[in-house]
Chains A and B, each alone.
Chain A
Amino acid sequence: MKSPKTLLHCLTFTLLLAATIASADASADVVIVVSVKNPISSITAEQASKIFLGKVTTFPNGDNAIPVDQAENAIKDEFYAKVAHKNPAQLTAYWAKIIFTGDGQPPQRLENNIAVKKAIANNPKTIGYIDSNAVDSSVKIVLTP
């Protein structure tokens, strides 16, 4: 009677340990940013998730929102893990459903933090996520998830 419980505890411990190691490994700190010209000052993780997953197309104030993604990197992984609770495979599966039924396309993918900041500077409707170290006066943080 005792041994399955012990086994379960061992398993839980191993999983927690693995999770701790995995989270300690992700040193990147993602922030969600918009243009300094954008009137919104904050956004919830739920709202950000809906914008990036293509479920809503506007900011909470009703203005059009254009999300921009990053290429596959640690910042992107952290953003979707924290905001949408999706790992890279789940995100790919989510978009596979939408792309291959002809229902939509994922946000445009930009190469890195610099490209995201440039896009935001060029169009105040743009919303992106970048490494907190890359924040400068051209963008405004609306959420630190």
Chain B
Amino acid sequence: MSFSIDKLTMTKHCLVVLSLLATSISIAKADEIATTSVVAANTVDVIGETSEEQPSIFKLSGFGTFVLSHSSQGLGDYVLDSTVPKGTGRSQNWAMSNDSRLGLQVSANFSPKISAVLQVISEFQADGTYRPAVEWGNIKYAFTPDSYIRVGRISLPTFLYSDTRKVGYSYPWIRPPAELYRQLTLTSSDGIDAGYRFEMGEVGNTIKLLYGSNIIDRPTSISTSRDLWGIFDKLEYDSTTFSLGYQKRIASSQSLINGIQGAWIPNYDLSAGVSYDPGNWFAVAEWIQRQSTTKTGAMYVSTGVRLDTLTPYITYSQNSRSSFIPGFPAPTVASIQNSKRSQSTVSLGLRWDFTRNMDIELQYDRVKLGDNSNGYLTNVPAGVTLYGSTFHVISVGVNFVF
């Protein structure tokens, strides 16, 4: 009985993926036509001094990722984000909800100094739907080509891949390492930021300052962050990039079950990353520390080789148990249990850039849960302990940009 349901669900999922794939290909095809007209418009723009025609102000671009994942652990759901209600494992045999999303962006260049961007993303939400939401939308004023301010909903580069984690095409993996990136769900800030880029000899330096707020929906609560401050710096020398980030905010959660607003707690996020990418191979490592009422650390290292259109890679990532910060009210039973969550993953994967602007990826993850917790598995039935156990996740996906 359960077999036939699984099979039916799988067939349904396969059909959905296939039709999405077909749509994405037709979008990509349509884009070729669109690109041609953009090229024509741009030609007019550059040669515009002698031409009467108007250059195009608006530009449409987009990205998409469709990934099917299967987890061998049937007693809990493997999810990458605390905002989503379910995933592969206990709730679904195969799920596309972890990494699949579609993004559309309209950019507008009103003048060399004034531009605007609006990005809408459809992905699996707290309410269990793929309802599209505005990821970011802001107006930018460039004082010079190297300095700007932006106002609106702005990307939040807290960690190395925080602001690009939804654009699957832009990194080699199926997803940025879960142990580190599931520590922070925030990807945007409503407010203002300023950026400045300068060269010091051979070293390029980009610095960003940010102030704003953020609200995110979770399955049973709403999290609000205010007084969100960030300073982010990126140093580039030859093929090496160093990045440092520091972010501070005051956050509180309101329960959707009883309406109670939790205490406002200061949160600190610190990140240090380094990547080396001379072209035919790459290596990247990142370390972060998060602090609210507890302190948690996470890190990963990853390397891969680019063999023409194939990129095999390997990643190791882990997070540490949390320690309680003195000075807060005594922790609850639930928060003590949450503080014990830790896990590590070894991932092996292969990316195949089979055509321009599109790739296929296959990834295997071996996830080991910490000795005193069920790690970040969700929907584990009460009383079930999977402490110290290992499970396997296999994912296959396609990415595109246009």
Q: Could you list which residues of chain A lie within 8 angstroms of chain B, going by C-beta atoms?
A: 15, 18, 22, 46, 50, 55-57, 64, 66, 68, 71-72, 85-90, 92-93, 96-97, 99-103, 105, 108-111, 115, 118-119, 122-123, 126
Pairwise interchain contact A123-B279, C-beta atoms closer than 8 A: no
- The 0/1 profile, CB within 8 Å of A marked 1, for residues 263-299 of chain B is 0000000000000001110000000000000000000
CB distance from A49 to the nearest CB of B (A): 10
Residues of B close to A86: CB separation below 8 A: 279
When distances are taken between beta carbons in the complex, the residues of chain B under 8 Å from A56 are 199, 204
CB distance from A62 to the nearest CB of B (A): 11
Minimum C-beta distance from B199 to chain A (A):
6
When distances are taken between beta carbons in the complex, the residues of chain B under 8 Å from A50 are: 204
Complex interface: chain A residues within 8 A of B117 (CB): 102
Known: A57-B145, A96-B63, A100-B105. A90 touches B279 (CB 8 A): yes
A55 to B50, CA, bound (A): 29
Q: Which of B107, B202, B278, B401 interacts with A92 by CB under 8 Å?
A: B401
Interface residue total, chain B, C-beta cutoff 8 A: 57
Does B308 lie at the interface of the complex (its beta carbon under 8 Å from any beta carbon of A)?
yes
Give the contacts of B113-165 with A (CB-CB under 8 A): 117, 119, 136, 138, 140, 144-146, 150, 154-155, 157, 163-164
Interface residues of B (CB under 8 A from A): 35, 38-40, 42-43, 45-47, 49-50, 59, 61, 63, 103, 105, 107, 109, 117, 119, 136, 138, 140, 144-146, 150, 154-155, 157, 163-164, 166-167, 169-171, 195, 197, 199, 202, 204, 236, 238-239, 278-280, 306-309, 353, 356-357, 359, 401
- In the bound complex, residues from chain B placing their C-beta under 8 Å from that of A71 are 35, 39
CB atoms of A109 and B38 under 8 A apart? yes
Contacts of B39 in A (CB 8 A): 71, 109-111
| A97 contacts B170, C-beta separation under 8 Å | yes
Hey, which chain A residues are within 8 Å of B170, CB to CB?
93, 96-97, 100
B140 touching A102, Cβ below 8 Å: yes
A-B contact pairs, 30 of them (CB 8 A): A15-B307, A46-B238, A55-B197, A55-B204, A56-B204, A57-B144, A68-B46, A71-B35, A71-B39, A85-B280, A89-B309, A89-B353, A90-B279, A92-B169, A92-B356, A93-B169, A93-B171, A96-B164, A96-B401, A97-B167, A99-B61, A99-B107, A101-B155, A102-B117, A102-B119, A102-B140, A110-B42, A115-B47, A123-B46, A126-B46
Residues of B within 8 A of A55 (CB): 197, 204, 236
Instruction: Tell me the minimal C-beta distance from A64 to chain B in angstroms.
Output: 8
Q: Given the complex of chains A and B, what is the CA–CA distance between A93 and B359 in angstroms?
A: 11
5 further A-B contacts with Cβ under 8 Å, apart from A85-B280, A100-B167, A103-B155, are A96-B169, A101-B163, A102-B117, A109-B39, A110-B46
CB distance from B246 to the nearest CB of A (A): 19
Let me know if A87 and B155 touch, CB within 8 A. no
What is the bound-complex CA distance between A87 and B357, given in angstroms? 12
With A88-B356, A100-B170 as given contacts, are A119 and B47 in contact (CB-CB < 8 Å)? yes
Q: Which residues of the partner chain A approach B238 to less than 8 Å between Cβ atoms? A: 46
> Within 8 Å CB of B136, what residues of A?
102
A72 to B229, CA, bound (A): 41
Task: Tell me how far the C-beta of A74 lies from the nearest C-beta in chain B, rounded to whole angstroms.
Answer: 13
How distant is A81 from chain B, measured CB to nearest CB, in Å? 8
Residues of B within 8 A of A68 (CB): 46
Minimal Cβ-Cβ distance residue in A for B401:
A96
Q: Are A101 and B356 in contact (CB under 8 A)?
A: no
Tell me if A100 and B306 are in contact (CB < 8 A). Answer: no
